[in-house]
Amino acid sequence: MATATKMSAPRLWMQALYTIPQVDLSLVDPVTRWLVLSRASVVVMTATSAVLGGLLAARDDVFDWPLFVLTAAGLVLAHTASNLVNDFWDYRRGADSPDSPRARYGPHPLTEKSADMRSFALITVVILAIATAIGIYLTVETGPGVLIFALSGAFGLMLYSGGPLPLKYFGLGEIAVFIIWGPLMIGGTYYVMAGDLPGWVILASFPYALGVTTVLMGKHLDKLEFDTTKRIFTLPMLLGERGARRLTQVLSIGMYVSVVALVIWQQMPGLLLVAGALPLLWMVLRGYNKAKPDKPPEHYPAWPLWFVGMTFIHNRRYGILFVVGLAGQITGEAII
């Protein structure tokens, strides 16, 4: 921890975007503190969805830089605010306590008093206000259809752990994540620029949405014992540990099956670049064949996380290759 805090601020920012660094938040700059507390490393998945939506719009010659930048910024800010809001709700419900997995794998803004309630509320409200302002502007600029995507996404993000019927507590969190990071984020980014949403774009959103869903499945598998004691009915709790591991394996394979379908339907061979992530798929399939060990291996840094690390690393490489492959496909079609 001490070594990490000796890094320069820009290096800490990059580390916070790559993982959740184990740092003493009292010794780092404010930007690093809030990047860590808002779990910016998972917000990168939202940025990836936005980029994919923009690239799909570029393929159909409807790309618009100002609209894309605003849409991507709005999505990233909305996800950031959602992380903070859901931490608040889980803290209030007692699901996030000092001994909970959430507080053990990374600094929690409230259980560890990493942020006082006033500053926490202020930062959250400011982020929400900016995201809302962007949504209003895009609605005025492009039409009321944007409201369908904006309000649906906001409902899923803000009520994931909050409200009277939090999605995560009733086995709906994983389904919500698939819809939000796929059709709503990728499809919504496309819609803002194009004004409509073809069926092939919805299909094109499935591969990466499946990847994000596997990450959540891994996280909830890692928290299964704790969630059971708190009666948080995540999908892994409903399916059981073994059934959840098998479903995650199926979803991981589905990431590639859906890409092949997209390649055939839309003649987009550039997307086959995701095959470069197959070695990590094999790691996921092998890792999910076994139950989580009772204690971490020697020098293992991320305990109590285990399963989520595999799917997170796999999805990160898969997402990068998907973006590069799609960009290459578009460039090749433009040249031809």
- For the stretch 207-265, pLDDT in tens is 999 999 999 999 999 999 999 999 999 999 999 999 999 999 999 999 999 999 999 99
Please state, in angstroms and rounded to a whole number, the distance separating the CA atoms of residues 167 and 158. 10
Candidates 315, 288, 284, 285; CA nearest to 213 is: 315
Could you tell me which residues come within 8 angstroms of residue 66 by beta carbon, excluding any fewer than 6 positions away? Answer: none
- Tell me the β-bridge partners of 233: 170
Q: At 27, list the tokens.
A: 């010794």
Q: At 88, list the tokens.
A: 């608040």
Under CATH, what is the fold of the domain 25-335? Answer: Farnesyl Diphosphate Synthase (1.10.600)
Please state, in angstroms and rounded to a whole number, the distance separating the CA atoms of residues 34 and 84. 10
pLDDT band at 100 (very low <50, low <70, confident <90, very high): confident
- Tell me the β-bridge partners of 170: 233
With 0-12 CB in 10 A as exposed, 13-18 as middle and 19+ as buried, what is 203?
Answer: middle
Average pLDDT over all residues of the chain: 92
Give backbone dihedrals phi and psi of 171, rounded to 5 degrees, phi first.
70, 15
> Residue 162, SS3?
coil
Residue 5: the pLDDT is 54
- Cβ atoms of 228 and 237 within 8 Å: the answer is yes
* 3-class secondary structure per residue, 235-303: HHHHHCHHHHHHHHHHHHHHHHHHHHHHHHHHCCHHHHHHHHHHHHHHHHHHHCCCCCCCCCCCCCCCC
Question: In the chain, what percentage of residues exceed pLDDT 90?
Answer: 72
pLDDT in tens, 129-176: 999 999 999 999 999 999 999 999 988 988 898 877 899 999 999 999
Characterize 135-146 residue by residue with b for buried, 16 or more Cβ atoms within 10 angstroms of its Cβ, and e for exposed.
beebbeebeeeb
Please state, in angstroms and rounded to a whole number, the distance separating the CA atoms of residues 111 and 217. 24
- Cβ atoms of 150 and 135 within 8 Å: the answer is yes
Number of H helices, E strands in the chain: 16, 0
Please state, in angstroms and rounded to a whole number, the distance separating the CA atoms of residues 188 and 176. 15
Q: At 121, list the tokens.
A: 């509320």
pLDDT in tens, 134-144: 999 999 999 99
Q: To 5 degrees, how large is the angle CA 226–CA 232–CA 237?
A: 75
Residue 4: the pLDDT is 54
- 99 CB neighbour count, 10 Å cutoff: 9
In the chain, where the domains are located: 25-335
Residue 267: the pLDDT is 93
Q: At 221, list the tokens.
A: 């598998």
Please state, in angstroms and rounded to a whole number, the distance separating the CA atoms of residues 222 and 233. 14
Residue 1: the pLDDT is 39
> Residue 233, SS3?
strand
**Which residue carries 């798929």 as its tokens?**
281
pLDDT over 70 (residue 336): no
Q: To 5 degrees, how large is the angle CA 134–CA 14–CA 315?
A: 80
> Residue 303, SS3?
coil
**Which residue carries 């600029």 as its tokens?**
141
pLDDT over 70 (residue 3): no
pLDDT in tens, 32-69: 989 998 999 999 999 999 999 999 999 999 999 999 99
